[in-house]
Amino acid sequence: MGMLVLNRLSQTVLVVLVAALVSFTLIRYVGDPVNNMVGQSATLADRAAMRQQLGLDDPVLVQFARFLNDAAHGDLGISYRYAQQVSALLKERLPATLELSVCAMLIAVLLGVPLGVWTALHRGSVVSQVLLAGSLMGIALPTFVIGIIFILIFSVWLGWLPAFGRGAVVDIGGGWTTGLLTASGIKALILPSLTLGLFQMTLIMRLVRAEMLEVMRTDFIKFARARGLANVIVNYDHALRNTLVPVITIIGLQFGNIFAFSIIVETVFQWPGLGLLVIQAIQFSDVPLLAAYLVLIALCFALINLAVDLLYSAIDPRVRRGGAAGPKTA
C-alpha cells in the first residue's frame, strides 16, 4: 500500500510541476509583461531598467525557480484586468464556489445513493423504469440548459427563487463569506446547487444501481441467502456494503467534476465564484489569473486523487492488510 501512495504522490508533484511550467511559460512569454506594466511613453532606458527589476534578464531556470518560490509563498502575480493581487482575488471568490460545490455534492449523494439502491432492489417496477428514463434525461441535458429551465420555471414564471447572485452574505472571519446564515442567501443557493447536483445525482444513481446489480449476482450473496439470512441483512449488510466500497471512491473523484461544472453554473446564475472569474479571464486574456487558475486546478485534482486513493486503502481490507486486490482506476 505504501507503494501506491508513493506512486500517487509522485504523480501529484509531477502534474503540479507541469501545470506550473505551462503557467510560467504563459506569463513570461505571452505578450510583454513590461508593456503591461509601464505606460506607452516610457523610454527604452526605463524599459531596460524595468526588465532588470523584474528579473527578466536572468536565465530561464532561475526565473522558473523564482516563480515557484513566489507561488509557494502566495504571490501569484497581479491580474491585468482587476489590477489586484491574483491570490487576493482567488481567496475572495473561493468561499462562493466551495459552498456551491459542497451543497451540490450533498444533494447528489443524499439523493443519488438511496435512489440507486432502490432501483436495484426493485428492478422492473414502474417507478424504477421511470426513474431510469429520467436519469437518461439528466445525462443528455447539458448543465446550462437545466439551469435555464430552472430559472424559467422558478424565477420567471413562479417568482419563488432568485435567478442571479448570492443573496446577502455574512462574513464569518478570515475573509470567509457564507450565504447559509441569511434567508436570501439560502434561497439564492437552492437553484444553483440543484442545477449543479442534478447531473452528478443521475450519474451516482446509475452507478450505484449498476454496481449493486453486479454484487447481487455474486456467489457470496447466493451463499448468504443459502444460509437463510434475512433479506434486510443480505441487501444492506452484504450487498450495499460491497457496492459502496468502489462507489465511494468514484464519488470522491466526482467532486472534481462538480468543481469543473461549477464554472457553467456560476455563469448561468451569475454566481460570484472562481468559475465566473476564470471565464472573464479567458475572455479578456488576463494571463496571470488564467495561469494561476491552471495551477490551482491541477493541485486540486491531484489532491483529490490522492485523497481518494488513501480513502480506498482505508476501507478495503484486502488493500489494507495486504492482498492482491487494489482500487479500480476510473
Partner 1 sequence: MTSLLSVEHLRVEIPTRRGTLLAVDDLSFDVAEGEVLGMVGETGAGKSLTGNAIIGLLDPPARIAAGRIGLRGRRIDDLPAEAMRHLRGKEIGAVFQDPLTSLNPLLTVGRHLTQTILTHLDMSPSQARARALKMLTEVGIPAARERLDSYPHQLSGGMRQRVVLALAFACDPTLVVADEPTTALDVSVQAQVIELLKRMCREHGTAVLLITHDMGVIADTADRIAVMYAGRLVEIGPTRSVLNAASHPYTQGLMASIPSMRRRGVALAQIEGSMPRLDAMPAGCAFHPRCPVKVERCTRERPDLAPAGASDVACWLSSTTATEDQVRHGG
Partner 2 sequence: MSEEVAAPRWRDSDLVHDFVHSPVAIVSVAVTLILLVVGAGASFVAPYDVINPAVANVIDARLPPGAEGLAGQHYWLGTDPQGRDMLSAIIFGLRMSLLVGLSSVALAAVVGIALGLVSGYFGGLADAVIMRIADVQLSFPAILIALMIDGITRTLMNRDLHERLAIPVLIFAISASFWVQYARVVRGIVLVERGKEYVLAAKVTGVATPRIIASHLLPNALGPVLVIATINLALAILTESTLSFLGVGVPPTQPSLGSLIRIGNEFLFSGNWWISMIPAAVLVLLSLAVNLVGDWLRDALNPKLSTA
Distance between CA atoms of residues 194 and 191, nearest Å: 5
Is residue 122 part of the contact set for partner 1 (CB under 8 A)? no
The option from partner 2, partner 1, none interacting with 287 (CB < 5 to 8 A, set by class) reads partner 2
We find the least distance from the C-beta atom of residue 1 to partner 1, in angstroms, to be: 14
Contacts of 129 (CB under 8 A, 6+ apart): none
We find the least distance from the C-beta atom of residue 7 to partner 2, in angstroms, to be: 10
Indicate which single residue of 238, 274, 276, 313 sits in contact with partner 1 (rule: CB under 8 A). 238
Is residue 48 part of the contact set for partner 1 (CB under 8 A)? no
Contacts of 176 (CB under 8 A, 6+ apart): 95
- In the bound state with partner 2, the residue whose beta carbon lies nearer, of 169 and 286, is 286
Cell of 87: 491570490
Triad 213, 214, 218: Cα angle to 5°: 115
Which residues make up the interface to partner 2 (CB under 8 A)?
11, 14-15, 22, 26, 30-31, 136-137, 139-145, 148-149, 151-152, 155-156, 163, 253, 256-257, 260-261, 263-264, 267-268, 278-279, 281-283, 285, 287, 290, 294, 297, 301, 304-305, 329-330
Report whether 246 contacts 309 (CB < 8 A).
no
We find the least distance from the C-beta atom of residue 144 to partner 1, in angstroms, to be: 40
Distance between CA atoms of residues 131 and 122, nearest Å: 11
Report whether 284 contacts 80 (CB < 8 A).
yes
Binding range to partner 1, per CB under 8 A, among 20-28, 134-142, 231-239, 254-262 = 231-239
What phi and psi values does residue 273 have, to the nearest 5 degrees? -120, -165
Contacts of 326 (CB under 8 A, 6+ apart): 4, 319
We find the least distance from the C-beta atom of residue 282 to partner 2, in angstroms, to be: 4
The option from partner 2, partner 1, none interacting with 170 (CB < 5 to 8 A, set by class) reads none
Which region, left, alpha or beta, applies to residue 135 given φ > 0 means left and ψ of -120 to 50 means alpha?
alpha
Residues at the interface with partner 1 (CB under 8 A): 218-220, 222-231, 233, 237-238, 241-242, 245, 316-318, 321, 323-325
